[in-house]
Structure 1
Amino acid sequence: MITIHLKYEIDADKLEDFEEYGRRWVGLVNRFGGTHHGYFLPSEGDSDIAYALFSFPSLAAYEQYRANSMEDPECQAAFELARSTRCIKRYERRFLRPLDGLAQPQPQP
């Protein structure tokens, strides 16, 4: 499994546009075989930083999703929403993998 961590610098005055962008991508990632773990919006602290996490079974599955999203009309509409509203100033993408074996349940006496 691979988890993608996105850090967004957003325009705080366009938070509603970014929220709509996020709502769209949660469904799209899930439709393309991923598991979206959600968008995390500013609350306390920085008012212009947001995060998203989603996973795919493998890097190959993620790469297929990326290729497919370039041809999908709903994905293109979501990209256009961000471009036209300029709600996203920049973003960073990181690829993470879970550390297996540490969360094993302990036998109860």
Structure 2
Amino acid sequence: MITCYLRYEVRPDKLADFEAYGAMWLDLMPRFGGIHHGYFLPSEGASDVALAMFSFPSLAAYEQYRKDAGADPDVQKAVAFAKETRCFIRYERSFFRPLLPKTA
């Protein structure tokens, strides 16, 4: 399993738009075989940082998602919404291999 961690620099005056953008991805990710672990919006502390995490069974599955998502009209709509609203300034993407409890 591979987990993608996203750290966004958001515009505090555009949080409602960013939340709408995130909601789009919560619906989109399972369509491509991913598991979305959610968006984490500013609450206390820094008001311009939001996080998101999602996982795929493998790096190959993630790469396939990237190929398939590029041609998806709903993904294009989400990307256009982010560009139009400018709800975040930038993002950083990192990948992790989770260590999870063993199941019986």
Q: TM-score interval w.r.t. the shorter chain?
A: over 0.9
Gap runs ≥5 in structure 1: none
Match of 1:67 in 2: 67
Match of 2:37 in 1: 37
Answer with 1 or 2: which has the greater Rg.
1
Query: How far 1:27 moved relative to its partner?
Result: 1.0
The Cα offsets for residues 77-103 of structure 1, whole Å up to 9 and x where unpaired, read as 000000011001000000000125xx3
Using structure 2 for the length normalisation, give the TM-score.
Answer: 0.95
Q: How does 1:1-109 map to 2 (within 5 A)?
A: 1-99=1-99, 103-104=101-102
TM-align CA RMSD: 1.4
Whole-angstrom CA distance in 2 between matches of 1:77 and 1:30:
17
Query: How far 1:31 moved relative to its partner?
Result: 1.0
Whole-angstrom CA distance in 1 between matches of 2:95 and 2:31:
20
Runs of 4+ that moved beyond 2 A: none
How many residue pairs align between the two structures? 104
Whole-angstrom CA distance in 1 between matches of 2:8 and 2:71:
24
Percentage of matched positions with identical amino acids: 61
Whole-angstrom CA distance in 1 between matches of 2:30 and 2:52:
13
Q: Which amino acid aligns with 2:69?
A: S
The Cα offsets for residues 57-93 of structure 1, whole Å up to 9 and x where unpaired, read as 0001001111111100000000000001100100000
Whole-angstrom CA distance in 2 between matches of 1:46 and 1:99:
28
